[in-house]
Amino acid sequence: MRETHPNARAMGEAITVAGQAAPSGNYRIGAIVVDGGMKVLGSAFTELHSQPDPTAHAEILALRRACAGANCRYLPGCFLYSTLEPCPMCTSAAIWAKLEGIVYGATLEDAADFARRAGPGFSWRQIDIKSSYVITHGTPLLRLHEEFMRAECLKLVSS
Amino acid sequence: MRETHPNARAMGEAITVAGQAAPSGNYRIGAIVVDGGMKVLGSAFTELHSQPDPTAHAEILALRRACAGANCRYLPGCFLYSTLEPCPMCTSAAIWAKLEGIVYGATLEDAADFARRAGPGFSWRQIDIKSSYVITHGTPLLRLHEEFMRAECLKLVSS
């Protein structure tokens, strides 16, 4: 049976993965890639603090793992779930992979708000371009579900 | 002695690397990362056609190799040279790596023009967001040298 998006079980899985980041000193951001039957093809938390790779965002790692497993750089019919709005790097990677869509939880603005409140001791950078802006400038035109389970996802950023 | 940018020797190296792509069936797009003394820290051609990884653009591979070699995800003082204007994924990766700047040759528009002339048999997608747009929305604010040795770089795309 073909599942529909946005899907609470899939985002729940991304939240679980995000929760596994803390022991290695990484940000609690999680991402998974699911196929049309909601099978998880790849999952990851952000590994910026455990490997010397500026591209080691959760979404990039989940996409690369899913593509490696499928032995194909295209994943039509698949969705990327991320607990935080994907940056332009990650949104672009999803377009290059020809995903069907993206579902995300907390927003760029949520992360920026938290960083402001946390003060100068908390290092946080972002590129101020919405995921929706990148999607509308690429092909194929991915479906986008924004702010899904945002409150649960926001807890990962802010606690 | 600190070298200045844009630098013809560095772009020449990126062009040489691009030329190595054809035997493996890859697009002739090359990128290198150089440090302040113009030492090459990483180089790559696009490997989209030889590995199942949608992120295997020349710029991403060169950045990942340079960071792995330096054992650090930040490369301050370094420049990325690319024979083709970096897409939003690659430009964002350069920002995340805190590079000092980017130098590129042929433009997005050049590639699109060529694809139009080549007709439907030539598969080419792009995300219509200029590298300069991404740079001005991120921190640090990278220096950008556009259309450097564009004619030489354009030959790689169109011949």
Nearest-angstrom CA–CA distance, B58 and B28:
9
The band of B159, judged by pLDDT with boundaries at 50, 70 and 90, is low
- What average pLDDT is seen over chain B? 95
Nearest-angstrom CA–CA distance, B32 and A34:
34
Q: Does any CB of chain B come closer than 8 Å to the CB of residue A128?
A: yes
Other CB atoms within 10 A of residue A159 CB: 7
DSSP codes, A21-48: SGGGT--S-EEEEE-TT--EEEEEE--T
In A, minimum Cα distance to B59 occurs at: A55
Low-confidence ranges of chain A (pLDDT < 50): none
Encode pLDDT of B23-56 as tens digits: 999 999 999 999 999 999 999 999 999 999 999 9
Q: Which long-range contacts (CB under 8 A, 24 or more apart) does A14-17 make?
A: A14/A43, A14/A81, A14/A82, A14/A83, A14/A105, A15/A83, A15/A105, A15/A149, A15/A152, A15/A153, A15/A156, A17/A43, A17/A44, A17/A45, A17/A58
Active-site residue, A13 included: no
Positive or negative torsion for Cα A120, A122, A126, A130: negative
> What ipTM score was computed for the predicted complex, to two decimals?
0.96
Strand partners, A45: A30
pLDDT at A137: 98
Residues of chain B found within 8 Å of residue A70, distances taken between Cβ atoms: 52
In B, minimum Cα distance to A140 occurs at: B125
Q: Hey, of B78, B85, B96, B131, which one would you mutate to test binding to chain A, going by the most A CBs within 10 A of its CB? A: B96
Residue B137 to residue A125, Cβ atoms within 8 A: no
**Measuring CA to CA, which residue among A117, A93, A123 is closest to residue A31?**
A93
List the beta strands (DSSP E) in B6-67.
Answer: 30-34, 40-45
